[in-house]
Amino acid sequence: MDGDGGPGGWRVLCFRREGEITERLYEIGVDTNHDPHRIAAWWADVLGARLVDDERGYSYIVDIAGAPFESIDFAPVPEPKTVKNRIHLDVTTEDLQALVSAGATVLRVQDDEIEWTVMADPDGNEFCAFVV
């Protein structure tokens, strides 16, 4: 079911799942104006996950080590990204430069106020990288 989420124009997308209903995070959805396969492949590489292309036009990644959910889904949307993400991913890395070389952009470096580096994926979605 797809509907108007009210103030702020939020839209809520709900899926009916067959079988037992559990209260847990099932998946994370990420909108993209570009090729869903391309950005899903980028995240699959960064997270060491497995890429799946769905015949309905979206791509997702599964088998994400340590994730308490099944997948991150990348779906095409017509509207462009216009503001900072309200929700973002946090990742650990041994090498920030490897993320940059893979196509990420540094938005804010670690400093006296934050213990992480704020970055953006190739689609411009912000994420935080913690060096381990």
pLDDT bracket for residue 19 (50, 70, 90):
low
pTM across the whole model: 0.80
Looking at every residue in the chain, the average pLDDT score rounds to 87
CATH 3.30.460.10 domain extents, the chain: 27-80
For residue 58, CA distances in Å to 40, 94, 96, 123, 128 come to: 9, 30, 28, 15, 24
CATH 3.30.720 domain extents, the chain: 88-132
> Does 71 have pLDDT greater than 80?
yes
Segment 26-63, tens digit of pLDDT: 899 999 988 999 999 999 999 999 999 999 999 999 99
Tell me the CATH number for domain 27-80. Answer: 3.30.460.10
Q: What are phi and psi of 53, to 5 degrees?
A: -100, 130
Task: Please state which CATH class domain 88-132 belongs to.
Answer: alpha beta
